[in-house]
Chains A and B, each alone.
Chain A
Amino acid sequence: MRSARFSEIEAKVRSGARLDEGDALALFEEPDLLALGALANQAREARHGDRTYFNRNVRLETTNVCYASCNFCSFAKLEEGMPGAHTMTVAQAIEALRRKIDPASPPTEVHVVNGLHKGLPFSYYEELLSAMRREFPYAHRKCFTAVEIHFFAQHYQMTVREVFERLMAAGLESLPGGGAEILHEDVRRKISDDKATGEEWLAVHREAHALGMMTNATMLYGHIETFAHRVDHLMRLRRLQDESVARGKGRFQAFIPLAFHPDGNGMQQLPGPTGVDDLRTLAVSRLTLDNFDHIKAYWVSSTPKVAQIGLSFGADDVDGTIVGETIYTAANKKAPDGLSVDDLVRLIREAGRIPVERDTLYRVVQEYPRAALEGQFKVRERKQGKHLSVVSGS
Chain B
Amino acid sequence: MSRLRIAGVGFLNAAPLMQGLAEDPSVELYLGPPSEVARRLNEGECDVALVPVAAAATLGEVDVLDVGIVARGPVRSVVIAAGEPISQLERLALDASSRTSVVLARLELAARGSHAGDKGRVVARPPHEVIAGIGGTVGGVIIGDPALEIEGRFPHVLDLGQAWNERTGLPFVFAGWAAKRGTFTDAIVGRLRRAAAEGVAARDAIATAYARARGREPEAFVSYLRDSISHPIDDAAEQGLHRFLREAAEAKLLPPPDLRVVRSGQPPARQRPSLDSLLVRVADGGRLSASEGMRLYEEASLFDLGLAADQVRRRKNASDVVTYIVDRNVNYTNVCTTSCRFCAFYRPVGHEEGYVLSREVLGKKLQEVVDAGGVQILLQGGLNPGLRIEWYEDLFRWIKATYGLGLHALSPEEILHLAQLESLDVATVLRRLNAAGLDSVPGGGAEILVDRVRRMIAKAKCTSDEWLGVMRTAHHMGLRSSGTMMYGTVDTAAERIAHLVKLRDLQDETGGFTAFFCWDFQYERGTRIASGDHGTVLYLRTQAIARLMLDNVDHVGASWVTQGPHVGQVALRFGADDWGSVMFEENVVSSAGTTFRMDAARIEDLVHRAGYRVVRRNVRYEHLGQPA
B101 to chain A, nearest CB (A): 34
Contact B533 A387 (CB under 8 A): no
Interface membership of A305, Cβ < 8 A: yes
Interface membership of B531, Cβ < 8 A: yes
Contact B537 A378 (CB under 8 A): no
Which of A31, A352, A376, A391 gathers most chain B CB within 10 Å? A391
Residues of B within 8 A of A378 (CB): 490, 530
Contact A277 B306 (CB under 8 A): no
Contact B567 A305 (CB under 8 A): yes
Residues of B within 8 A of A388 (CB): 523, 531, 534
* Candidates A274, A302, A309, A384; contact of B540 at CB < 8 Å: A309
**In the complex, what distance in Å separates the CA atom of A34 from the CA atom of B569?**
13
- Please name the residue on chain A nearest to B310 by beta carbon: A34
Contact A279 B570 (CB under 8 A): yes
Please judge, given known A-B contacts A309-B540, A350-B537, whether A41 and B491 are in contact too, CB under 8 Å: no
* Candidates A274, A309, A377, A391; contact of B609 at CB < 8 Å: A274
A62 to chain B, nearest CB (A): 32
**In the complex, what distance in Å separates the CA atom of A392 from the CA atom of B415?**
30
Residues of B within 8 A of A373 (CB): 533, 538
A-B contact count (CB 8 A): 139
Residues of B within 8 A of A305 (CB): 536, 563-564, 566-567
Contact B531 A391 (CB under 8 A): yes
Contact B533 A303 (CB under 8 A): no
Residues of A within 8 A of B404 (CB): none
Contact A34 B307 (CB under 8 A): yes
Contact A308 B536 (CB under 8 A): yes
* Candidates A271, A276, A334, A376; contact of B610 at CB < 8 Å: A276
**In the complex, what distance in Å separates the CA atom of A383 from the CA atom of B344?**
13
Residues of A within 8 A of B593 (CB): 387, 392-393
Contact A33 B573 (CB under 8 A): yes
Contact B533 A377 (CB under 8 A): yes
A394 to chain B, nearest CB (A): 7
**In the complex, what distance in Å separates the CA atom of A347 from the CA atom of B606?**
25
Interface membership of A203, Cβ < 8 A: no
Contact B570 A379 (CB under 8 A): no
Residues of B within 8 A of A311 (CB): 537
Contact B524 A392 (CB under 8 A): yes
Contact A309 B567 (CB under 8 A): yes
- Please name the residue on chain B nearest to A377 by beta carbon: B532
Proximity string of chain B (586-615) to chain A, C-beta cutoff 8 Å, 1 when within and 0 when not? 000000111000000000011001110000
Please judge, given known A-B contacts A41-B303, A274-B569, A394-B564, whether A308 and B490 are in contact too, CB under 8 Å: no
A residues 82-120 with Cβ under 8 Å of B? none
**In the complex, what distance in Å separates the CA atom of A348 from the CA atom of B438?**
45
* Candidates A379, A380, A392; contact of B534 at CB < 8 Å: A392
Proximity string of chain B (426-468) to chain A, C-beta cutoff 8 Å, 1 when within and 0 when not? 0000000000000000000000000000001100000000000
**In the complex, what distance in Å separates the CA atom of A384 from the CA atom of B569?**
33
Residues of A within 8 A of B583 (CB): none
Interface membership of B302, Cβ < 8 A: yes
Interface membership of B362, Cβ < 8 A: no
Size band of the B side of the interface? Answer: 35 or more
B493 to chain A, nearest CB (A): 4
Contact B567 A275 (CB under 8 A): yes
A276 to chain B, nearest CB (A): 5
**In the complex, what distance in Å separates the CA atom of A312 from the CA atom of B341?**
33
A159 to chain B, nearest CB (A): 44
* Candidates A37, A350, A387; contact of B535 at CB < 8 Å: A350
Contact B570 A350 (CB under 8 A): no
Interface membership of B317, Cβ < 8 A: no
Residues of A within 8 A of B536 (CB): 305-306, 308-309, 350, 391
**In the complex, what distance in Å separates the CA atom of A392 from the CA atom of B524?**
8
**In the complex, what distance in Å separates the CA atom of A303 from the CA atom of B528?**
27
Residues of A within 8 A of B570 (CB): 33, 275-276, 279, 306, 309
Interface membership of B525, Cβ < 8 A: yes
A259 to chain B, nearest CB (A): 9
Proximity string of chain A (323-357) to chain B, C-beta cutoff 8 Å, 1 when within and 0 when not? 00000000000100000000000010011100000
A residues 286-330 with Cβ under 8 Å of B? 302-303, 305-306, 308-309, 311-312
B369 to chain A, nearest CB (A): 26
**In the complex, what distance in Å separates the CA atom of A387 from the CA atom of B593?**
10
Contact A392 B535 (CB under 8 A): no
Residues of B within 8 A of A393 (CB): 524, 593-594
Please judge, given known A-B contacts A305-B566, A350-B535, whether A380 and B592 are in contact too, CB under 8 Å: no
B191 to chain A, nearest CB (A): 31
**In the complex, what distance in Å separates the CA atom of A350 from the CA atom of B456?**
24
- Please name the residue on chain A nearest to B595 by beta carbon: A393
Contact B303 A392 (CB under 8 A): no
Interface membership of A186, Cβ < 8 A: no
**In the complex, what distance in Å separates the CA atom of A33 from the CA atom of B571?**
11
B332 to chain A, nearest CB (A): 26
Interface membership of B486, Cβ < 8 A: no
- Please name the residue on chain B nearest to A279 by beta carbon: B570
- Please name the residue on chain B nearest to A334 by beta carbon: B564
A354 to chain B, nearest CB (A): 14
Interface membership of B262, Cβ < 8 A: no
**In the complex, what distance in Å separates the CA atom of A149 from the CA atom of B393?**
73
* Candidates B491, B522, B535, B605; contact of A308 at CB < 8 Å: B535
- Please name the residue on chain B nearest to A394 by beta carbon: B564
Residues of A within 8 A of B592 (CB): 392
**In the complex, what distance in Å separates the CA atom of A159 from the CA atom of B525?**
56
**In the complex, what distance in Å separates the CA atom of A352 from the CA atom of B570?**
18
**In the complex, what distance in Å separates the CA atom of A384 from the CA atom of B524?**
9
Residues of B within 8 A of A306 (CB): 536, 564, 566-567, 570
Contact A381 B566 (CB under 8 A): no
Contact B566 A275 (CB under 8 A): yes
A345 to chain B, nearest CB (A): 12
Residues of A within 8 A of B302 (CB): 312, 352
A residues 213-229 with Cβ under 8 Å of B? none
Complex A-B, nearest 10 residue pairs according to Cβ-Cβ distance, in ascending order: A275-B566, A350-B535, A375-B492, A38-B303, A377-B532, A374-B493, A391-B534, A380-B530, A382-B528, A305-B536
Further contacts, 4 of them, CB under 8 A, given A1-B310, A312-B303: A34-B306, A274-B565, A387-B523, A391-B535
Offer 13 A-B interface pairs, CB within 8 angstroms, sorted by A: A34-B306, A34-B573, A38-B301, A41-B303, A275-B569, A275-B570, A276-B570, A309-B540, A352-B302, A375-B490, A376-B532, A383-B530, A391-B523
